[in-house]
Amino acid sequence: GSLGSAENLPPRTLSRVGKEVRSLLKGPPEGVRLVVDPETGMPGSLAELQAEIEGPTDTPYESKYFQLKLVLSADFPTSPPRGFFLTKIYHPNVDMSTGAICVNTLKKDWTSTTTFAHVLSIVRCLMIVPFPESSLNDEAGKLFMDSYEEFSRRARLMADVHGRPRPFTEATDWSNGSDHHGAGGRGGRKGKDLSETSPSRSDLKRGISSSSMSSSSLPIHPGGRSMSGSSVRSSGSLVRSSSVSSNGGALRNSGNSKMGVGGADKKSKKKSLKRL
């Protein structure tokens, strides 16, 4: 199918983006789908990719679907894309008015080899483990630290109002993992059941909290296993070793910050977020 409009992208960049898009359509990360033109089975624009994320289990966003976009500049991949939620979401790292996403993968940890699959997986991780100390929504960040129950209530309320109960990408079967992109029925790797997308807190702690872990030892998608052998799907597992970039460092703290919500004292929680 057509690759859609490319606006300011030079030919070499266009080639890379097209290759990544095809790879994403063939084998998307758990809980993530590209939004495509049903006629062509490809994104409407390669300079502004739209995707949809399934709210992870055991979060205020569970069972809702959220759209976002990655906007590429003319000097991509030297400069990172800018990420925005198109669906209104109550989250410490998302600006309420613009939808702008604050995550290290799109800032200091960006490298020219970082993939879209990796970025989208990290954004989904952020829905499980926010980083309130680098917040764009100060109220949500403060509530997340001081009163998780109230944060969760507000986030769920907004998810109920603005999140979609069914995926925008209806042409893709999210339930059994067989992918059909667009009306053409583009085809499909068998995936895992997305009803089990979120790693448990212990999986997160085991899988991504160790500061000594190298990117090659992080859990790998698809069907990634944590070192204990228990299943770590989607958000907890990073996409293929080749796409794991230096942002592994940002994720290393996430297990501890999630555990903090579960009752560990706030000192350890704040310590785990200190690097950000």
Structure tokens at 47: 């300079």
Q: Which residues of 225-261 are buried (b: 16+ CB within 10 A; e: fewer)?
A: ebeeeebbbbbbbbbbeebbbebbbbbbbbbbbbbbb
Structure-token pair, residue 170 = 């209806």
Return the number of other C-beta atoms located less than 10 Å from residue 34's C-beta.
21
Active site residue 125: no
Element at 144 (helix H, strand E): helix 138-146
Question: How far, in Å, CA of 190 to CA of 266, rounded?
Answer: 41
Which of 78, 84, 123, 76 is CA-nearest to residue 104?
Answer: 123
Catalytic residue selected from 102, 128, 171, 220? 102
CB 92 within 8 A of CB 60: no
Closest to 98 measured CA to CA, from 131, 139, 130, 68:
68
H or E element that contains 208:
helix 201-208
Residues with active-site annotation: 102
